[in-house]
Structure 1
């Protein structure tokens, strides 16, 4: 592993063809991420016809899957960082070897996690709500989506490898196809028809399971048909050094993802214990928030891939200038998006079925907070996921996530909700304290350039 933290060359501020590279990599990722968010919104909106309990149950049950998916995301993120850098060195064998190792390791972790979430679904739902109807429906959702986590793991790791080599279209096409299938199955199974009774929450879970299985079959069938390098490239006979390098990145990356995911789960528990209506509003705003962030997610993936490939070639000056370009772009774009969302707030609330008097009173100020804070959250995303992690600065990111969320955000939000008994809008606003701390810590770290590392190793 090569570590260099100083710039040795003076190049122009923006590397040639940067914008076209960002669009080529980031746009397909953004579209796919948006489609996933639309699917999550479709799940919530369709089951909302069955009442606030059904809406809340899907929100909290899917949050447990979200925590498990964050384990995969942490592992896949580390895999993507290494694949990008090895791809920059034109080393396909190392890129394939580490991807296969990650798939195998993740499957071993997720089998017991899946069993725990499913078998003890009723008990773990009690942590988020005391509403017995919500608990029953949420448990049903988890049982019907039993194999989803393993299937999702295979997809996430495969997609991380493809995107890190610049192939963002394959994940987009296959993902879009299965999302269309998922939405169609939602209409059929949730609402009923063609001889199938309305299944409600169970239908949403079953539709997700079927479509995810289809996505796995399509992904590996396509790779086999194309004789893709991910299947055809030779694997290294001795992967000890490569695995050690991966663990150095993956352990803090995965731990950080889990720390953050459990924190978001605790936020949901806080709103759940404030009331079923508050939980329903929080559950419906969440997917829309993800939709807003999807374009920025595409930019952060493009940033991570391009920086990773430059760092793998020891092009440190170019990497730093790329990072400056991404930070400025996201800041301006985030402010513009937030302003547009603020002007369209009532239209958005109507589209989310949050326009009734009971729900509007809670949702309107929360959406205002989201619009005003989106630029800050996106700036944090690009610095953390697009820059710091691209250079393997994952131990810092783990410490930062713990401090900002567990020492600031979660305690303040819980104190406001349960001790001060504040209204929903003020409790929701307090979650921003975490983002402010993140930005202060991460921007200082970015300027110190500790993230400018070549992480590749000689695997011989």
Structure 2
């Protein structure tokens, strides 16, 4: 019996859903609590986090590759290989992230100067960058070990750790920002230390859980002695995936530049609408990640027909849920947007954007589920090539044509989003149905079984 048979999509998905939701909330906690302290502090931390988010994407390439390789090898019953890949991925991301952490600490002022930050914000921004950026390697370890535990089927562990990190972060922020019981107020510097401490605590707990769950199959020799095939496969999967994510971030920055030309109201409306949209596609993210784990196990076990059907079932589920939630959000748009603002212009335009989101989110579900399925099967390059071409050739181009050239504003921007998501989604589904991914598995032949076959 393969490990995939012991897992269900629901059992994998609901902890991932909670974990991703909590990461979203934790990412906003510093900003929300700092807004009660100083608007300048919010701006300084916001700019710093924008830089750090790009760095965090670069850590994801090892975590993504490791998650897929471990799932495939576990499905094939090769626990030692899976353990070796796990230890290698932890080692590679540790050294890589330490190098980036050192660079962020040494060159924080130069990096912030590139962002043309006002001098009034520079002090707080540098404090945050030096502390959170200088310890960003802890986030890399969190991502890597969390991804590995999920591939082993332990999706609840990262969820519980994330809950603990959120609680620690909020309590710590309260003490350093508001200074209860006569304690000194530390502002941005205090928030930075709290963020670093909560992440470090989460990392230590996850590491102990990893050792406890998989201790018998973790060859720590692989921490300093890499197998060439493992390293090659990690890079083969991870680098294109990271490139796609960096391209996506860059395309969103280009679109934000377009929106900035429309004025402050347009920027604010876009922020509010996209904040609400994150909660709509959260289910698709969780389903996509859970499906990736299941399909990785099925591919490793050579259960290709089960892998094929799992993707289709997951896609159908994600479309139904995202469409349903998008419809509910649209009919609740006045209430939801009213939580942020009472500006009639924002409420009207934001309501139209949420209506267009009813068309957008099912298309996004295609990409979040099918792309993860293709990656899990080892087909990593096609989604990247199509993604980059569509992001820039379709999304950014159409957003400029309709949003700026024809002056449809944010409606034109959303038209670009919709066409891009649906075009990519349809192409990804055609790729999945073509079954080209059947030839892309990264599982190494079982050396022991192979030698026994030769002997017999």
Q: TM-score interval w.r.t. the shorter chain? A: 0.7 to 0.9
With over 3 angstroms needed to count, the CA separation of the structure-2 counterparts of 1:356 and 1:264, relative to structure 1, is same
Cα displacement (A) at 1:151: 0.7
Equivalent in 134, 147, 150 of residue 163 of structure 1: 150
**1:372-418 CA-partner distances (Å, limit 9, x unpaired):** 42222122100112x11111111111101210112222344356666
CA distance in 2 between counterparts of 1:116 and 1:415 reads 39
TM-score, normalised to structure 1, is 0.83
TM-score, normalised to structure 2, is 0.84
CA distance in 2 between counterparts of 1:202 and 1:430 reads 40
In structure 1, the residue matched to 2:418 is: 432
**280-289 or 428-437: bigger deviation:** 280-289
Cα displacement (A) at 1:303: 0.8
> Is 1:450 the counterpart of 2:427 in the alignment?
no
Cα displacement (A) at 1:349: 2.2
CA distance in 2 between counterparts of 1:123 and 1:284 reads 31
**1:192-222 CA-partner distances (Å, limit 9, x unpaired):** 4344455555554333212101111222233
Instruction: Indicate conservation of the 8 Å contact 2:37/2:177, yes or no.
Output: no
**1:91-127 CA-partner distances (Å, limit 9, x unpaired):** 2221121122222222333334344455555565576
In structure 2, the residue matched to 1:253 is: 241
In structure 2, the residue matched to 1:10 is: none
Equivalent in 294, 318, 322 of residue 334 of structure 1: 322
CA distance in 2 between counterparts of 1:158 and 1:296 reads 22
Secondary structure, counterpart of 1:209 in structure 2: helix
Cα displacement (A) at 1:273: 6.2
> Is 1:346 the counterpart of 2:334 in the alignment?
yes
**1:60-94 CA-partner distances (Å, limit 9, x unpaired):** 43232222222222321111111001111222221
Equivalent in 309, 316, 330 of residue 321 of structure 1: 309
Secondary structure, counterpart of 2:180 in structure 1: coil
Q: How does 1:61-460 map to 2 (within 5 A)?
A: 61-117=48-104, 119-121=106-108, 124=111, 138-224=125-211, 228-229=215-216, 231=218, 235=222, 239-271=227-259, 278-279=266-267, 282-283=270-271, 286-351=274-339, 353-356=340-343, 360=347, 363-385=350-372, 387-414=373-400, 423-452=409-438, 453-458=440-445
With over 3 angstroms needed to count, the CA separation of the structure-2 counterparts of 1:227 and 1:95, relative to structure 1, is closer
Instruction: Indicate conservation of the 8 Å contact 1:92/1:233, yes or no.
Output: no
With over 3 angstroms needed to count, the CA separation of the structure-2 counterparts of 1:437 and 1:196, relative to structure 1, is farther
Instruction: Indicate conservation of the 8 Å contact 1:38/1:291, yes or no.
Output: no
CA distance in 1 between counterparts of 2:237 and 2:321 reads 30
Instruction: Indicate conservation of the 8 Å contact 1:223/1:230, yes or no.
Output: no
Long gaps (5+) in structure 1: 1-16
In structure 1, the residue matched to 2:454 is: none
In structure 2, the residue matched to 1:11 is: none
Secondary structure, counterpart of 1:454 in structure 2: coil
CA distance in 2 between counterparts of 1:275 and 1:51 reads 24
**1:241-274 CA-partner distances (Å, limit 9, x unpaired):** 2323333222322322322233334444544565
Cα displacement (A) at 1:130: 7.1
CA distance in 1 between counterparts of 2:352 and 2:151 reads 39
Cα displacement (A) at 1:286: 4.7
Instruction: Indicate conservation of the 8 Å contact 2:334/2:347, yes or no.
Output: no
Cα displacement (A) at 1:458: 3.3
CA distance in 2 between counterparts of 1:119 and 1:195 reads 35
Higher relative contact order (CA 8 A, sep 6+): 1
Instruction: Indicate conservation of the 8 Å contact 2:270/2:410, yes or no.
Output: no
Cα displacement (A) at 1:331: 1.4
Instruction: Let me know the Cα RMSD of the aligned residues.
Output: 3.4
